[in-house]
Amino acid sequence: MSEQLDLMIARVRKGRMTRREFVGRTTAMGLSAGLAGALFSKAALADEPVKGGTIRAGVAGGQSTDSLDPALAASDVPYMINRTWGETLVDVDANGAVEMRLAEEASSNADATEWKFKIRSGVEYHGGGTVTADDVVATIKRHTDEKAQSGALGIVQGISEVTAEGDMVTMKLTAANADLPFLIADYHLVVQPGGGVDAPAAGNGTGAYKVVATEPGVITTFEKHANYWDSSRGHADTVEVLTINDDTARSAAIQAGQVQMISRVDPKIVETLKGDAGIVIERAAGPGHYVFIMHVDKAPFDNNDMRMALKMAVNRQELVDKVLGGYGSRGNDFPINGAYPLFDDSIEQREYDAAKAAEYYAKTGHDGSPIILRTAPGAFPGAVDAANLFAASANAAGIPLQVQVEPDDGYWSNVWNVQPFCASYWGGRPVQDQMYTTAYLSTADWNDTKFKNAHFDELLIAARGELDAAKRKGMYSEMAHIVRDEGGLILPMFNDWVEGRRAEVAGWIADPQGTLMNGTALNKCWLTA
């Protein structure tokens, strides 16, 4: 047995075996899961990071309209680029805990209405100068300024006052929020000299790599920031982010060794890539999910029986199998899963039930005219397939669901948030409060189901200031039930991150927070060969 074990440990060291595989195989040999996990960590860490070389990442989701301004980042490529040259005050690590970055300490007053962040001293920008508390204040203020068009505007709006004193930044909140550090970890809030007011797209930050050249939607090249403060990151000499939007070309690029890691491996191609000894497939179950959203204030979806009929008419397992290729898990019509702290896993899983769906549908007295579900190839990967499968299972229950494919072009302005029933997606948030606040609070900007429930709102506000974890969990559970049984959200599946790396890339950690190790893969990985 030990011979086999050694062999497996060697494979782990070479990066040829994932944690899941290792623990699975060793427990099958009789080891306890805990011991197996510990052995894996030891094996994986046994090799010291190797310095040098060039790592190229092939990432999907970049356009020639992209910018280096962190406020404007809205898709995977700019996200990955900004995470490579820039840093935020804090981060959320792979286990969902807050990790200190440019802040050394974070603390709040007793009722969580005021937060203090102590700024790490001596951290240098690529363009010279060190990070000051004033830079942090200016950064927050820039994102609060509506002219910056920041994607983090909704987050920083909750900060009523931000001030600097020495190396300490104080943020006063409009209302109590025990989760503020998770919000400040938002990837838009990269700290820039002077807040980035003068040159928002200069790409001048504190990250392990500094931008050498950028061609939006094509390639951005970086070199190591010589005076980088954190020795545990930044192992390669140079790194590059290549935009490769085509699924087949992206997987061909890693097979040909033109890139060393790729984002978004299509589940349908995983088996082929696994057959290549030089490639390792990585997966992480995250909070991201694909949804069909109904406006609860528009007919026929203003009738909860209709909403329940449609919720019962989705074959969730079929969607996970055929659209996600098994790389995901079933949803339960509320936007929270095991990736979140304080998740209540005792809520009953909703199943496909044609008879019940038909029963609810009969109660609505709908006239039988087609119910139009709008979708587009870009609503989420496989959105047209998913809508077609939904329509087929709903038709089997006698519900006249009909799919209409809309152009990708203009989908988010003409269909989403406009039409009463359409396909969409959410990337998820690090904490429950943020997810619910973003899209389910009555007054939320992005309340795309038009869901308004006074009791739900009360619970959400109360939970923010509730410091007793058990009570807070109970409140979140009640909220989950409300959304699940009354909301306009049909959430059939949570999608896993499925990504690929070449075997010579080491240091990979499955991180559910975002694509490519929450955007840190180029910072944390190194080349063994």
Partner 1 sequence: MHPVLKLVVQRIALGLVLLLIISVVIFLGVEALPGDTAQAILGQSATPQALENLRAEMGLDQPALTRYFHWLGGILTGDLGTALTNKADIAKSIGSKLGNTLFLAGSAAVIAVPLAILLGTIAARYAGRWPDKLISAITLTTISLPEFVAAYFVIFFLTQVFPIFQPVSLVLPGMGFWEKLHAIALPVIVLVMVVLAHMMRMTRAAILNVMQSAYIETAELKGLTPMQVVWRHAFPNAIAPVVSVVMLNLAYLVVGVVVVEVVFSYNALGKYLVDHVTKRDLPVVQAVGLIFAAVYIFLNMAADIIGILSNPRLRHPK
Partner 2 sequence: MRIPISALIGLTLTGMFLFVAIFAQWLAPYAVGDSSGAQWEGMSATHWLGTDTIGRDILSRLIFGAQITIFVALASSILSFSLGAFLGFTAAVQGGWIDQGLSRLVDLVMAVPSLIIALVVLTIMSPNLIVLILIMGLLDSTRVFRLSRAVAADIAVMDYVEAARLRGEKGTWVIFREILPNALSPLVAEFGLRFIFAVLFISTLSFLGLGIQPPLTDWGGMLQENKIGITQGKSAALLPAFAILSLAISVNLVADWILTRTSSLKGGRGG
Task: State the residues that interact with partner 1 by CB under 8 A.
Answer: 58, 63-67, 69, 72, 74-75, 146-147, 149-151, 153-154, 201, 215-219, 242-246, 248-249, 252-253, 255-256, 258-259, 408-410, 412-414, 416, 424-425, 445-446
C-alpha–C-alpha distance, residues 102 and 53, integer Å:
27
In this complex, which beta carbon is closest to partner 2, that of residue 269 or of residue 505?
Answer: 269
Q: Where are the alpha helices (DSSP H) in 145-283?
A: 153-156, 180-184, 247-255, 270-274
Two tokens at 455? 């009791």
CA distances from 17 to 21, 113, 282, 369, 485 (A): 6, 46, 10, 53, 42
Two tokens at 498? 């499925």
CA distances from 239 to 82, 260, 389 (A): 13, 10, 41
Two tokens at 28? 């099958």
Site for partner 2 in 249-268 (CB under 8 A): 252, 266, 268
C-alpha–C-alpha distance, residues 48 and 71, integer Å:
36
Closest separation in Å from C-beta 78 to partner 1: 10
In this complex, which beta carbon is closest to partner 2, that of residue 351 or of residue 409?
Answer: 409
Q: Which of 47, 61, 84 minimizes the C-alpha distance to 207?
A: 84
Q: Say which residue the tokens 């030990």 belong to.
A: 2
Q: Which of 484, 476, 479, 380 minimizes the C-alpha distance to 424?
A: 380
181 HSE (CA, 13 A, CB side): 22
- Residue from 31, 392, 461, 482 touching partner 2 (CB under 8 A): that is 392
170 contributes a contact to partner 2 by CB under 8 A: no
C-alpha–C-alpha distance, residues 183 and 225, integer Å:
27
36 contributes a contact to partner 2 by CB under 8 A: no
Site for partner 2 in 351-380 (CB under 8 A): 376-377
How many other C-beta atoms are found inside a 10 Å radius of the C-beta of residue 95? 10
65 binds, among partner 2, partner 1, none (CB under 5 to 8 A by kind): partner 1
Closest separation in Å from C-beta 407 to partner 2: 3
248 contributes a contact to partner 2 by CB under 8 A: yes
Give 410's contacts (C-beta < 8 A, 6+ positions apart).
Answer: none
- Residue from 49, 70, 288, 325 touching partner 2 (CB under 8 A): that is 325
391 binds, among partner 2, partner 1, none (CB under 5 to 8 A by kind): partner 2
In this complex, which beta carbon is closest to partner 2, that of residue 168 or of residue 405?
Answer: 405
272 binds, among partner 1, partner 2, none (CB under 5 to 8 A by kind): partner 2
Q: What is the DSSP string of 159-174?
A: EEEEEEETTEEEEEES
Closest separation in Å from C-beta 516 to partner 1: 17
| Binding window for partner 2 (CB under 8 A); candidates: 153-161, 209-217, 388-396, 504-512 | 388-396
C-alpha–C-alpha distance, residues 240 and 220, integer Å:
6
Q: Say which residue the tokens 């409009």 belong to.
A: 174
Two tokens at 371? 């119910």
In this complex, which beta carbon is closest to partner 1, that of residue 343 or of residue 425?
Answer: 425
Closest separation in Å from C-beta 426 to partner 1: 9
Closest separation in Å from C-beta 263 to partner 1: 14
- Residue from 47, 385, 478, 486 touching partner 2 (CB under 8 A): that is 385
In this complex, which beta carbon is closest to partner 1, that of residue 169 or of residue 242?
Answer: 242
Two tokens at 232? 């545990």
The single-letter code of the amino acid at 283 is R
In this complex, which beta carbon is closest to partner 1, that of residue 286 or of residue 507?
Answer: 286
Burial class (CB in 10 A: 0-12, 13-18, 19+), 444: middle
258 binds, among partner 1, partner 2, none (CB under 5 to 8 A by kind): partner 1
Closest separation in Å from C-beta 387 to partner 2: 8
287 HSE (CA, 13 A, CB side): 24
What track of x and - describes contact with partner 2 for positions 127 through 146 (by CB under 8 A)? --------------------
272 contributes a contact to partner 2 by CB under 8 A: yes
Closest separation in Å from C-beta 252 to partner 1: 4
268 binds, among partner 2, partner 1, none (CB under 5 to 8 A by kind): partner 2
Computed on alpha carbons and rounded to an integer, the radius of gyration of the chain in Å comes to 24
Q: Which residues bind partner 2 (CB under 8 A)?
A: 247-248, 252, 266, 268-269, 272, 321-323, 325, 376-377, 384-385, 387-389, 391-392, 403-409
